[in-house]
Amino acid sequence: SALRLEDMRIPHSYLKTFQGPATGVIVERERLNKYGTPLLGATVKPKLGLSGKNYGRVIYEGLKGGLDFLKDDENINSQPFMRWRERFLNCMEGINRASAATGEVKGSYLNITAATMDEVIKRAEYAKEVGSIIVMIDLVMGYTAIQTAAIWARENDMLLHLHRAGNSTYARQKNHGINFRVICKWMRMSGVDHIHAGTVVGKLEGDPLMIKGFYTTLLATELKVNLAYGIFFDMDWASLRKCMPVASGGIHCGQMHQLITYLGDDVVLQFGGGTIGHPDGIQAGATANRVAMESMVLARNEGLDIFSNEVGPRILRDAAKTCGPLQTALDLWKDISFNYTSTDTAD
């Protein structure tokens, strides 16, 4: 049975029975006091094996260097080398120190995914108690669990980040399963504030047009048919708030001109290895990403064609003249790109 759900139009009256994201893009920006630029994040690496103390150190250095968020990876929950309470406490120490040092609101997505819903809520309550502004769940929890977590987050003024771990098991094949854009619709209805939605240029392959369709699905107040983007139906979002897309996986600051052109401002750009793999340390890696992003946004706002192969790299080189960490990062990763043939195309 070669059946695949490519898209669905959800009626206005049915959408009205869902609350959607409690925070959404605009309120998140107000809470962080960040406007007109993408947000910056990173995943802690190595994702498995660090002690709580060392994990918190990674958080501190990344945030102090200029990132808005760090995050647990999808498979960190509570393992013998680091139990979840230990991680939450050390993360919060890093966050609080970095916030105090920079004067910015910062956070780290604390993964509350667990074996039972009772345990998920217990971890969520603890995250709130120790002062976190954001918690994270994995898509493999299932749709009931996701909505339960989203309603809890709404009631407790917490941002909710959804890592799409497991989506490829049914979104990857062309002749069977569910297209990821449908999952985007379901997740916006469920009420998550963030969802991983592809990068175009990273290691998680993605056709630029299809990814644009995912981002449009998450961010538009009204969808118009656009077959190139894979949007098959007109659909009004019935005033449900926007869901912040997250770009993560194999991206680095040398691709900043492409990322900003393809993905726009309403996105969290997450450079994991592209921050933590920096030769001069994590703080330097974070600074390189921040300087690259701000210089590129500035150039775009001045009307420069940042996407061109001459202009984009030149802006980065110019910024690197007064930012050593950026120069080091550009030298290190200049040749790295993942050129996969995308499986998710419109044909």
pLDDT at 2 over 60: yes
Asked if residue 126 is part of any domain, the answer here is yes
Asked whether the whole model's pTM tops 0.85, one would answer yes
How many whole angstroms separate alpha carbon 223 and alpha carbon 232?
9
Q: What is the count of structural domains for the chain? A: 1
**Percent of the chain scored above 90 by pLDDT?**
85
Q: How confident is the model at residue 193 (pLDDT cuts 50, 70, 90)?
A: very high
pLDDT at 205 over 70: no
pLDDT at 33 over 70: yes
- Closest by CA to 57, choosing from 94, 29, 4, 102, is 94
Q: Are 24 and 280 in contact (CB under 8 A)?
A: no
Asked if residue 89 is part of any domain, the answer here is yes
E strands present in 47-127: 69-71, 107-111
194 is catalytic: no
Asked if residue 302 is part of any domain, the answer here is no
Here the CATH number for the domain that contains residue 173 is 3.20.20.110
**Which whole-number Å values give the CA distances from 329 to 276, 282, 296, in the listed order?**
11, 11, 16
Q: What is the pLDDT of residues 71-123, one digit of tens each?
A: 999 999 999 999 999 999 999 999 999 999 999 999 999 999 999 999 999 99
pLDDT at 341 (0 to 100): 60
- Closest by CA to 218, choosing from 248, 192, 185, 179, is 185
pLDDT at 233 over 60: yes
Q: Are 213 and 229 in contact (CB under 8 A)?
A: yes
45 is catalytic: yes
- Burial of residue 111, with CB atoms counted within 10 A of its CB: 0-12 exposed, 13-18 middle, 19 or more buried: buried
pLDDT at 71 (0 to 100): 94
Q: What is the pLDDT of residues 128-175, one digit of tens each?
A: 999 999 999 999 999 999 999 999 999 999 999 999 988 888 888 888
Asked if residue 331 is part of any domain, the answer here is no
Asked if residue 40 is part of any domain, the answer here is yes
Domain assignment of residue 248, given as a range: 4-278
Asked if residue 46 is part of any domain, the answer here is yes
Q: Which of 163, 196, 212, 257 is catalytic?
A: 163
pLDDT at 200 (0 to 100): 81
Asked if residue 305 is part of any domain, the answer here is no
Q: Are 205 and 343 in contact (CB under 8 A)?
A: yes
pLDDT at 340 over 60: no
Q: Which of 45, 122, 128, 203 is catalytic?
A: 45
**Which whole-number Å values give the CA distances from 212 to 42, 181, 267, in the listed order?**
22, 10, 12
Asked if residue 289 is part of any domain, the answer here is no
